[in-house]
Amino acid sequence: MIITIDGPIATGKSTIAKKLARAIGYIYFDTGAMYRTLTYGLLKHNVSLADKEALKAFLNSFILDIKIKHGERRYFFENEDITDKIRGEKVTQFVSQVSANKDVREKLVSLQHELSEGVNAVFEGRDMGTVVFPKADIKVFLTGRPEVRARRRYEEIINKYPSEYKDLTLEKVLEEINSRDHYDSTREISPLKQAEDAFVIDTSDLTSDEVVLKIQEFKDSRRTRLKET
């Protein structure tokens, strides 16, 4: 069974997807981290999206290296653990335009399809239920008020990377979230949008555990309805 969880930035997707996967014994895949890993590689080797030949060569040699350490997924590039680095300001600045590139998306969507074969998994991202897995068994779309999401994002960044983001302000985060929402929802390639058959949850006033419970209840009720038919 494939469960997809989509939604804009700072709706709690990663935390919720991890907790859901752990609760029901599924594998968890953070597709955003996959795009960040690839973005890190492009930046490291100074590969421009405008240089078609260089980009093609990079994508042909790119290997998605994920390892489990102490129960957590760690992301590697050229044998370097970059799990923390891919959340840094530089990667964050470029990941949106990288993930909107057609060739990049084709590469990673192909990898995501491979990872989904023969497993029960929760895939978290922005176009999982609309583009990557349009026939997913359960599709969830998370939303949230921009002000709440900005506060969450701000606190998360400040707590995890205090030295790198010491000049960050809540106002700047809100501005970036609104800008990112507009860009992701209007881009030509795989825009962020809600699947017609998605279960929509506004996470603004809910804890991650409450959201996970709602998804589990939806999953169980859907299974019951399928048995009845």
How many helices and strands in the chain, by DSSP H and E? 8, 8
The partner residues of 74 in beta bridges, in order of sequence, read 67
Consult the annotation and say whether 32 binds a ligand: no
Output the CA angle 77-82-87, nearest 5 degrees. 130
Q: Are 192 and 185 in contact (CB under 8 A)?
A: yes
158 marked as part of a ligand binding site = no
Please tell me whether 15 is known to bind a ligand.
Answer: yes
End-to-end CA distance of the chain: 18
Q: Is 41 marked as binding a ligand?
A: no
Report yes or no: 211 and 12 within 8 Å, Cβ to Cβ.
Answer: yes
Is residue 118 a known part of a binding site?
no
63 labelled as ligand-binding?
no
Distance CA 55, CA 27 (A): 30
In sign, the C-alpha dihedral spanning 210, 216, 222, 228 is negative
Ligand-binding annotation for 96, yes or no, is no
Q: Which two tokens stand for residue 221?
A: 């009720």
130 marked as binding residue: no
CA atoms within 13 A on the CB side of 219: 21
The answer to the question of whether 16 is labelled as a binding residue is: no
Instruction: Please name the residue that has the structure tokens 């929509």.
Output: 200
- CA dihedral of 70, 151, 96, 194, whole degrees rounded to 10: 90
Q: Which residues are annotated as a binding site for ATP?
A: 7-15
Q: Which residues are annotated as a binding site?
A: 7-15
